[in-house]
Amino acid sequence: MADDDRLLIDRFLEMMAAERGASRNTLLAYRSDLDGARLIAGGLADASTAMLERLSPAWVTLSASTVARKVSALRAFYAFLEEEGLRADNPSAMLPRPITRRPLPKILSAADVDRLFGVIEARLAVDSPVPHDLRLSAFIELLYGSGLRATELVSLPRRALSGDRPFLILRGKGGQERLVPISDRARAAVAAWVSHIPPDSVWLFPSGKSHMSRIRLYQLVKALAGAAGIDPDRVSPHVLRHAFATHLLEGGADLRALQSMLGHADIGTTQIYTHVDSRRLVELVNSRHPLATMKAAR
């Protein structure tokens, strides 16, 4: 039966990739969640409601968001079995429905970002900057200047930025394509780094036979934070993506434009950034709304 479960999980994940465009990271998370549930429940394909009841006690120490993800994986898996005619019922209806709140993003101030770039500029202000510092400059310019996800950044093809084209086209989560503007600074930083890439590399940021890993990128960003006198726990590639979005919004960017640049399928995901902008919104109402210039009517 364990072999049957593995085969069905493989088929389910193939469907998720082909029909729903699930990313590699999503597929890995779903596989891990389903394999873990299979071991706890004693099987998945033929699991009864009673067998799935074993999961709740095993999840009691997990966060609500983690449990929600695991439940989502199981619900999707059993819906797939129903659609394929492999089960007549869906035992996942009894699984817990944890209430989760979208966490507010960690943010960096503009001064914090200036400190990060200050370290890089000091390292590059020598006669012959070392290649690793040129690469780090390209990383930070693209993370903060374009809001790329870590996976999108490290897996950029060598020719992703071509000529004077001020944008690149990315395929992000769910296989959705989006246009990402690239600043002159970022293009200059990438151009300085490109000459140090091995001629036979197909990646913009190669490492061995593939591209650099996300883990290594995280390490480099945290090391830079430490060098800038910022707590490394406050800084990550994703935090720089948040800073990109937050600072654009503070500068007057349209929420829909920001949604497009970030690659969010749901604008509700983008709206989380408005929490940092409430003071500015009040100021806008007080200074620019027509009522602000009208005398109070008697």
What ranges do the domains of the chain cover?
Answer: 2-94, 110-283
CATH top-level class of 110-283: mainly alpha
Distance CA 175, CA 129 (A): 37
Q: Out of 173, 185, 214, 280, which one is annotated catalytic? A: 173
Which whole-number Å values give the CA distances from 197 to 22, 188, 203, 208, 268, in the listed order?
31, 15, 8, 12, 39
Distance CA 151, CA 168 (A): 15
Q: Out of 31, 87, 238, 280, which one is annotated catalytic? A: 238
Residue-wise DSSP of 65-131: HHHHHHHHHHHHHHHHHHHTTS-SS-GGGGS------PPPPP---HHHHHHHHHHHHHHHSSSS--H
* pLDDT in the model for residue 181: 80
Is residue 273 part of the annotated active site? The answer reads: yes
Q: Decide which of 2.40.50.100, 1.10.150.130, 3.30.465.10, 1.10.10.10 is the CATH code for 2-94.
A: 1.10.150.130
Is residue 149 part of the annotated active site? The answer reads: yes
Q: Which tokens sit at 298?
A: 């008697």
pLDDT digits (tens, 9 = 90+) for 184-237: 888 899 999 999 999 889 999 999 889 998 889 999 999 999 999 999 988 988
- Report whether 254 contacts 277 (CB < 8 A): no
Is residue 30 part of the annotated active site? The answer reads: no
Distance CA 135, CA 220 (A): 10
Q: What is the dihedral of CA 28, 29, 34, 37, to 10 degrees?
A: 140
Is residue 209 part of the annotated active site? The answer reads: no
- Report whether 55 contacts 41 (CB < 8 A): yes
Distance CA 294, CA 296 (A): 6
Is residue 275 part of the annotated active site? The answer reads: no
* pLDDT in the model for residue 149: 80
Q: Residue ranges of the alpha helices (H) in 182-252? A: 184-194, 214-227, 237-250
Q: Out of 70, 241, 242, 247, which one is annotated catalytic? A: 241
Is residue 11 part of the annotated active site? The answer reads: no
Q: Which residues of the chain have pLDDT under 50?
A: 1, 276-277, 281, 296-298
Sign (positive or negative) of CA dihedral 226, 230, 235, 239: negative
| Three-state DSSP class for residue 180 | strand
Q: Which of 75, 71, 79, 57 is nearest to 99 (CA)?
A: 71
Distance CA 66, CA 170 (A): 28
* pLDDT in the model for residue 60: 84
* pLDDT in the model for residue 269: 53
Q: Which tokens sit at 143?
A: 């993370």
